[in-house]
Structure 1
Amino acid sequence: MKVGRDKRDSRWDAHREQRRGQLVGSAIVAIRRQGAGIGMDEIAAAAGTSKTVIYRHFGDRTGLYTAICESVAGVLLAEVRRATAGALADPARGPRAAVAAGIDTYLQLIETDPELYRFVVHRPLLAQGHGGRRGTAAEDAGTDPVNDLVTVIGDEVAAVIGTNLRAPGPAGASAARFWGHAIVGLVRGAADDWLARPDGTTRAQLTAHLTDLAWSGLSGLASHVQEAPS
């Protein structure tokens, strides 16, 4: 027999979710101020609480890390969707501009929030919990929020490409999916190098370089992908 939850317990769900959101927000602010290598003690101090309270809400450091990743992913995905949709809605621009807009949005996160990007992608908080060994979220919780984020963005880029295929159908959809994820991998690899080894290249310049490379491949498939309007 299914037993319903005690109303005295369920009525606190909204409060718990609100408190989790506050703790994630405080952690993000602390990461920006103190850097990606911040530890749990510093995160707790920035939130005005204790590690025990944080663990009560998130289980462990992996739970907090995952929640931060989900927050960053939500903002980034919304921005990518807004940027690509804006480009596609402009008849003077088109799919090439949409690819450029998506790339630029990803790079903007790195330019404006480099420490937060390092924290999410390179997982220093989880490494602290493995005696200096770089653990992964997959090892700790069975899922990898970074790979989840990359998958979602790859699917988003694939959708942009897929809507501009001249040969729709299962084969076209499959090709669009692979192309979308290939572009995300291309951008992520170049972006990591751009952050790690700055040489004066601006975000606009890198966006142009990566768009040229990505679109030269897509536009080369002339029988499948529409060119941007001239």
Structure 2
Amino acid sequence: MVDDASTTRRGRGRPPGPPLDLARRRTLLLDAAEDALRTGGSDVGLGEVAKIAGLSRSAVYAAFADRDALLDALAARRSRRIVDDLGSVLSTITDPRDQTRAAVDILAAWFEEEPVLAPVLMSRLSHAGAGDGSILDALVGILRAGFAARGSDDAAAEPWAHAIVGAVSSTVTWWSRTATMPRAQVVDHLTDLIWAGFSGVTPSA
């Protein structure tokens, strides 16, 4: 295998050609990392990712400093996809409670579809892309709308969002392992819990 980070090794089924630019290489590695995690679980190393991508190990390190950097980038990409999905759903939903349920269901659906990959990335997901359309930012916006609908100060939106992300993460991780109830039921329970908090919220003076 060639060790020059600027050179790529032709992967199986990939035609020969000029070296990939860094952006394309990163995308190829992120796709390979997802495949590796799905089949090998959380202990997959960069060597396996490089093998799947058809690149040298040094090419991996040219794109990502270490395994943590690769996983953080993978979580950020997934976060953007989830926020995009949420944006599409919220464009047709105006009620804040229904918006909250939709957000919880998108996460639960991801765990249902990706039972190996989702738990690996979830702990990194809440802050992935923070300040640039992260899941946390999206939830803060939903909660602020909920406070506004009740004529209340929205100062609690951010701490509530952090607490909710933690609770939802823990619950959907447990649910994906145990499958003790249908997805719709666990989503309803989480939505009820979140919105029960609003029963104690009073309008601003």
Normalising to structure 2: TM-score of the pair?
0.76
The answer to whether structure 1 residue 59 and structure 2 residue 40 are counterparts is no
Q: 1:211 is matched with which residue?
A: 191
Q: What secondary structure is seen at the aligned counterpart in 2 of 1:49?
A: coil
The answer on whether the counterparts of 1:36 and 1:119 sit within 8 Å (CA) in structure 2 is yes
Distance 2:28 2:129 in 1: 25
- Runs of 4+ in structure 1 off by over 6 angstroms are none
The answer on whether the counterparts of 2:136 and 2:161 sit within 8 Å (CA) in structure 1 is yes
Distance 2:186 2:42 in 1: 24
Distance 2:169 2:98 in 1: 19
Q: 1:163 is matched with which residue?
A: 145
The answer to whether structure 1 residue 195 and structure 2 residue 176 are counterparts is yes
Residue identity opposite 1:120 in structure 2: L
The answer on whether the counterparts of 1:84 and 1:98 sit within 8 Å (CA) in structure 2 is yes
Q: Per-residue deviation at 1:97?
A: 0.8
Stretches of structure 1 that go unaligned for 5 or more consecutive residues are 1-13, 89-93, 123-144, 225-230
Q: Per-residue deviation at 1:222?
A: 5.5
Residue identity opposite 2:184 in structure 1: A
The answer on whether the counterparts of 2:127 and 2:136 sit within 8 Å (CA) in structure 1 is no
Distance 2:129 2:63 in 1: 26
Distance 1:31 1:80 in 2: 24
The equivalences for 1:1-230 within 5 A come to 15-88=21-94, 94-121=95-122, 145-149=124-128, 152-164=134-146, 165=148, 166-167=150-151, 172-196=153-177, 198-221=178-201, 223=203
Give me the CA root mean square deviation: 2.5
Q: Per-residue deviation at 1:185?
A: 2.1
The answer on whether the counterparts of 1:84 and 1:99 sit within 8 Å (CA) in structure 2 is no
Pair 1:119–1:186, CA change in 2 (3 A): closer
* Percent identity for Structure 1 against Structure 2: 28
Distance 1:23 1:199 in 2: 32
Normalising to structure 1: TM-score of the pair?
0.69
Pair 1:147–1:101, CA change in 2 (3 A): closer
Q: What secondary structure is seen at the aligned counterpart in 2 of 1:148?
A: coil
Q: What secondary structure is seen at the aligned counterpart in 2 of 1:173?
A: coil
Distance 2:137 2:69 in 1: 25
Residue identity opposite 2:171 in structure 1: A
Distance 2:86 2:165 in 1: 12
Q: What secondary structure is seen at the aligned counterpart in 2 of 1:38?
A: coil
What is the count of residue pairs matched by the alignment?
181
